[in-house]
Amino acid sequence: MSVLDDLPPLRDVIARHDLAPRKQLGQNFLLDLNLTSKIARQAAPLADATILEIGPGPGGLTRALLANGAEQLVVVEKDPRCIPALDEIAAYYPGRLRIIEADALDMDLAAIAGDRPLKIVANLPYNVGTQLLLNWIAVEAWPPRWQSLTLMFQKEVAERIVAKPDTDHYGRLAVLAGWRTHARILFDVPAQAFTPPPKVTSAIVHVTPSLAPFPASLTALETVTAAAFGQRRKMLRQSLKPLGGESLLDRVGIDPRRRAETLSVEEFLALANALGRDE
Ligand code: SAM
């Protein structure tokens, strides 16, 4: 195994600080510094931006980000037990690591990033991963505050983010991500790579913002996708009935007998814009 730094092995850190993983905090730790380094490098270059890591835990990915060049790294961790372990990393890399003990769901990105570009990297806690992604994509002002997201998800969620029409995973998340971002799966991470191993395979997803996504109202798009995918097996004339049904579909030239999963992102945007005009 390659040596990233002279800090103690993560197993020792976990034992010394009594960091027995807690399921309710989504704690599945990565202890292989080769793997955390591989993840960190996907967000490179790391030196010219503020790097924000959500859920550093005992600090495996944190150490990899610093060893691979992060000069200004901010970590947000909810579990107070992890803070002393992170303090040791901060002491080893003076002036480069800022530790915030907080719930990532409540944080203010602009305040964290300051004036610098912002890249977010995380082995996300699975219980809040999708909500955090939505918080970063479903924002009123676009382009967003961040420049890239390099995130670990359960593979099934990763597939829902990058899904194309006419596939089982295609739904609201794929339409939103397809509208405003370029998202791709970089590689899978097997369950055995984690301590403790989760039940399913994970995957790293890389997301960058589209600079000029087709103009549409976020609220109208959310309304239309919620109605369409809420009854995904039904024909759109039925599922979209509360929003105008056949007359709405006729106005944008979509066959009312089609089903939600056959519509392209552009067709959803056309529907959202037609709906927006009625509101
Ligand atoms: N980054 C470490 C790694 O790769 O080994 C830990 C990843 S573990 C999957 C998720 C981490 O997120 C845990 O350390 C957990 O305490 C933390 N966490 C869970 N919910 C959180 C929240 N709402 N805000 C901030 N951190 C959270």
CATH label of the domain that carries residue 144? 3.40.50.150
C-alpha 76 – ligand 1 centre gap (Å):
8
Q: Find the angle CA(70)-CA(76)-CA(81) to the nearest 5 degrees.
A: 115
Whether residue 245 sits in one domain with residue 180: no
Whether residue 142 sits in one domain with residue 83: yes
Per-residue pLDDT, 1: 44
Whether residue 18 sits in one domain with residue 55: yes
60 ligand 1 Cβ < 6 A:
yes
Phi, psi for residue 274 in degrees, rounded to 5:
-65, -40
Distance separating alpha carbons of residues 102 and 42, to the nearest angstrom: 26
Probe target for ligand 1 pocket from 19, 42, 77, 199, with the most ligand atoms within 8 Å of CB: 77
Residues 6+ apart with CB under 8 A from 222: 138, 172, 176
Phi, psi for residue 118 in degrees, rounded to 5:
-125, 130
Write down how long the chain is. Answer: 279
Domains of the chain: total? 2
Whether residue 263 sits in one domain with residue 223: yes
C-alpha 59 – ligand 1 centre gap (Å):
10
Are 150 and 119 in contact by the 8 Å Cβ rule? The answer is: yes
Per-residue pLDDT, 258: 97
State the complex-level ipTM. Answer: 0.99
Distance separating alpha carbons of residues 204 and 202, to the nearest angstrom: 7
C-alpha 237 – ligand 1 centre gap (Å):
43
Are 181 and 214 in contact by the 8 Å Cβ rule? The answer is: no
Residues of the chain with pLDDT under 50: 1
pTM: 0.95
C-alpha 54 – ligand 1 centre gap (Å):
6
Which helix (H) or strand (E) covers residue 268, if one does? helix 265-278
101 ligand 1 Cβ < 6 A:
no
Distance separating alpha carbons of residues 96 and 94, to the nearest angstrom: 6
Range of the domain at 114: 10-209
49 ligand 1 Cβ < 6 A:
no
Take atom 10 of ligand 1 and give the residue whose Cα is closest.
125
C-alpha 210 – ligand 1 centre gap (Å):
28
Whether residue 222 sits in one domain with residue 203: no
Probe target for ligand 1 pocket from 24, 28, 38, 54, with the most ligand atoms within 8 Å of CB: 54
Q: Does residue 139 lie within any of the structural domains? A: yes
Q: Please identify, among 188, 209, 230, the residue that sits at the C-terminal boundary of a domain.
A: 209
Whether residue 189 sits in one domain with residue 155: yes
The CATH number for 240's domain is 1.10.8.100
Whether residue 173 sits in one domain with residue 82: yes
> Which atom of ligand 1 is least distant from the CA of 28?
9
Whether residue 159 sits in one domain with residue 46: yes
Distance separating alpha carbons of residues 147 and 228, to the nearest angstrom: 31
Q: List pLDDT tens digits, range 108-164.
A: 888 888 889 999 999 998 889 999 999 999 998 899 999 999 999 999 999 999 999
Amino acid at 45: P
Whether residue 178 sits in one domain with residue 103: yes
Q: Does residue 38 lie within any of the structural domains? A: yes
Q: Please identify, among 179, 209, 239, the residue that sits at the C-terminal boundary of a domain.
A: 209
Q: List pLDDT tens digits, range 164-183.
A: 999 999 999 999 999 999 99
Query: Does the annotation place 173 within a ligand binding site?
Result: no
